[in-house]
Chain A
Amino acid sequence: MGAELGKYKACVSARSTDKEILKHAQDGGIVTSLLGYALDTGIIDGAIVAVNKEFAAKHQSLIMRDNTNWDMVEPWRPFPAVVSTKADLLAAAGTKYNISPNVSMIKEATRSFGLDKVGIVGTPCQMQAVRKLQLYPIGARDVGAAVALAVGIFCMENFPYQSILQLVEDHAAMKMESVKKMEIGKGKFWIYGKRGQVVQLPLKVTHKYEQPGCHVCLDYVANLGDISTGSVGSPDGWSTVFVRSKIGDSVWANAMAAGVFETQPIEKVKPGLELVTKLANEKITKNKNTLEARKTFGVGKALRSPYI
Chain B
Amino acid sequence: MADKITLGYTHLSGCTGCTVALADNYAGLLTLLDRYVDLKYMPTLADVRHVQKVDVSFVEGSCCINDKLAVEELKETREKSTVVVALGGCACYGNITRFSRGGQQNQPQHEAYLPIGDIIKVDVYIPGCAPTPQMIRNVAVMAYLLLKGTKEQKELATAFLKPLMMAAQRGTTACFCELMTEVINQGLCMGCGSCASACPVNAITHEYGKPQGERDLCIKCGACYNQCPRSWFSFDVVENYEAINEAIMAALQ
Binding site for B on A (CB under 8 A): 6-7, 65, 77, 80, 98-108, 122-123, 125-126, 128-129, 131-145, 158, 160-162, 211-218, 223-224, 245-246, 303-304, 306-308
Kindly state whether residue B210 has any CB partner on chain A within 8 Å: yes
Kindly state whether residue B158 has any CB partner on chain A within 8 Å: no
Kindly state whether residue B234 has any CB partner on chain A within 8 Å: yes
| CB-based contact B132/A217 at 8 Å | no
Q: Within the assembled complex, what's the spacing in Å between the Cα atoms of A218 and B223? A: 24
Shortest beta-carbon distance, B135 to chain A, in Å? 5
- The residues of B that contact A162 with a CB separation of less than 8 Å are 208
Kindly state whether residue B231 has any CB partner on chain A within 8 Å: yes
The number of A-B residue pairs with CB atoms under 8 Å apart is: 180
Q: Within the assembled complex, what's the spacing in Å between the Cα atoms of A190 and B2? A: 67
| CB-based contact B166/A246 at 8 Å | no
Shortest beta-carbon distance, B27 to chain A, in Å? 14
Q: Within the assembled complex, what's the spacing in Å between the Cα atoms of A140 and B129? A: 10
Q: Within the assembled complex, what's the spacing in Å between the Cα atoms of A50 and B245? A: 28
Question: Which B-chain residue is minimally distant from A214 (CB atoms)?
Answer: B190
| CB-based contact B198/A131 at 8 Å | no
Kindly state whether residue B94 has any CB partner on chain A within 8 Å: no
| CB-based contact A131/B238 at 8 Å | yes
Q: Within the assembled complex, what's the spacing in Å between the Cα atoms of A214 and B210? A: 13
Kindly state whether residue B189 has any CB partner on chain A within 8 Å: yes
Task: Pick the interface stretch among B6-14, B73-81, B180-188.
Answer: B180-188
Shortest beta-carbon distance, A104 to chain B, in Å? 3
Please list 13 pairs of residues, one from A and one from B, whose beta carbons are closer than 8 Å in the complex, sorted by A's number.
A100-B209, A101-B206, A103-B193, A104-B204, A104-B206, A126-B192, A139-B226, A140-B198, A143-B197, A158-B190, A158-B191, A245-B242, A307-B233
| CB-based contact A99/B198 at 8 Å | no
Question: Which B-chain residue is minimally distant from A66 (CB atoms)?
Answer: B205
Q: From known contacts A99-B190, A144-B134, A211-B209, infer whether A128 and B198 are also in contact, taking CB-CB under 8 Å.
A: no
Q: From known contacts A141-B133, A306-B188, infer whether A129 and B232 are also in contact, taking CB-CB under 8 Å.
A: no
Q: Within the assembled complex, what's the spacing in Å between the Cα atoms of A158 and B210? A: 12
Q: Within the assembled complex, what's the spacing in Å between the Cα atoms of A28 and B24? A: 44
Q: Within the assembled complex, what's the spacing in Å between the Cα atoms of A212 and B188? A: 7
Interface centre among A122, A144, A212, A308 (most CB of B within 10 A): A308
| CB-based contact B138/A135 at 8 Å | yes
Task: Pick the residue among B135, B160, B230, B239 that contacts A224 (CB under 8 A).
Answer: B239
| CB-based contact B128/A213 at 8 Å | no
Question: Which A-chain residue is minimally distant from B225 (CB atoms)?
Answer: A138
- The residues of B that contact A131 with a CB separation of less than 8 Å are 238, 241
| CB-based contact A135/B193 at 8 Å | no
- The residues of A that contact B204 with a CB separation of less than 8 Å are 104
Shortest beta-carbon distance, B43 to chain A, in Å? 23
Task: Pick the residue among B126, B128, B182, B234 that contacts A307 (CB under 8 A).
Answer: B234
| CB-based contact A306/B230 at 8 Å | yes
| CB-based contact B227/A125 at 8 Å | no
| CB-based contact A103/B194 at 8 Å | yes
Question: Which A-chain residue is minimally distant from B209 (CB atoms)?
Answer: A99
Question: Which B-chain residue is minimally distant from A108 (CB atoms)?
Answer: B197
| CB-based contact A138/B163 at 8 Å | no
Kindly state whether residue B96 has any CB partner on chain A within 8 Å: no
| CB-based contact B190/A133 at 8 Å | no
| CB-based contact A160/B208 at 8 Å | yes
